[in-house]
Structure 1
């Protein structure tokens, strides 16, 4: 069998491709995102109009907020970003499951008595709470079973303040399924009719680590973000995975065959806006990610964040592209050309021509300056970005 490589010119946006996607989203393209955090949730909500087939590889290495409380209690991967993306992709119409969506999206107040909050969870388990009472059987039974598993395993001192009920249900499902995320993510996707596929890039309880320009080494995602602890005040030189104590070799954390298959099925790969290191590059660290991407002959685009990213301290656009390429080329093989893992950088018109020219001069990769923002110049317009990505497929 012979293979040929076909290239085409793309109009951005391509009205015909956009119209086709809007008319038949169930046949929409399989756009694969390597992401985490909440930066892509607005785009994900918009993307449901164009495709029910998007793929989201999510980092499970968050070490802040309510996800960290669960990690410490159950020695499990972070689930907050996974739940958040599931909710962004869920069918939010009356044709979906609004009652289940409301429960999964419910969050306890930051201030509140522990006894009262625990009693509210008990009410949910017993079916007396309005949020669970509204859910019909057999969904209610399954959800309550997951919450029961959570309560039985939760330490007495578990902190329920600011806890997401969806996260507690995910934790209970994880414990009920031999400490595996994929089964409970699949079930939750079906419960709220998720328009796409959401997976953890690896199903392991690991931490992010970073070597800094000033010689320090830090362990833990929240150390990098600057949200819950003081900023690093030093550029990140290298990111790695850790067991919490020491660095793990990439080969010790392979990309699963099931996730490799998702990469092999994608129509376009996107490294989207978000915290550069903890939300995007973190997903590229497992062994096999670079090789799986390099094996595909399709558009592979980077959409850099707008505004200030505390994790990209002092990094130019070209430096950010270099940081993105580093783990991919290391895994794909030193002889691999950058265009095997990244074909285009999509920038807003607010990005200077000098910045884009520096990227091309350093890497040989084209940078496209497009109108991708709306009223807020520090945020991509979800519709414009979705239609641009759809047009590239």
Structure 2
């Protein structure tokens, strides 16, 4: 069945002949993170529109590689297939991916990684139309920057030729990928604006939440330095760190907290469910991120949908968001004193105009609803299917 036909059965039950979109991504639920949330939300929206959706992913989480997950599972109508892998988490080998795309009408690859390269170079064998969403590429840190640039301009450029469209999820990605794929398309990520909707405290509090996987590039050390500076300004300041272990674990962060004498001022919440996170947000007024790199800034939008006022490190993605939404505050988290001053100023502004600022945050977040973003992807899927039909 042609992909274009599914749009006519929007919100209707899927049939066994409905077109099949296969998403390929290294990590998926139950892992939690921005990439996993994007694939899950896009999958759910696509299922609602009458498509069949499969996610092919690895059979264990990078944080617990020995704990194997079920090989098959159905999550919210999405067929999840988990395949074995070996090697490193940065470039895992998982050749069984080719077994699970043979019946696909379209393969949608997420991130610029080994799946992106392997499916590109294996295209002559599988022959499936493919698109890729960049999710920040592989420039999340400056480590090996020179090698990454060479790889990007050679191997990444060659692999990209196998894809019908390269979809960039942020303006910074579009600038980067347009250098090697001039017709790259911008479809910014959506945010699950219902997950924590309007949850934050309605009274301004000196309590901050940060949410995200515990990765080095999130620069939680810089954020903790800012909290250490804040505690000299007012005794009520408190930070809740919410996320899942990654290249940093609980012990690493506990050591960082203790070394700054922040015990009691910082609370660590590891792998908590959404109900628990809502309760944490309900006690807070601000969201902070010291991240040195973001593919898009999804978590900041989810924080805004909750009514949390963001104070964000001035990386490219966050600068783009702040340029569109002046309610967002930017800071230089490499300078702990300046970051602390920016956070204090954000709190004071919120205390003066709580209702107006909250309304601005909620209104800004609505524009990133997954219903809107998924419709853009559906339009892309349809246009690609027309192109496939005309080429046969």
- Fold match (TM-score > 0.5): no
Provide TM-score, normalisation by structure 1. Answer: 0.29
Provide TM-score, normalisation by structure 2. Answer: 0.29
Larger strand fraction of residues: 2
Tell me which of the two structures has the higher relative contact order, counting C-alpha pairs closer than 8 angstroms and 6 or more residues apart. 1
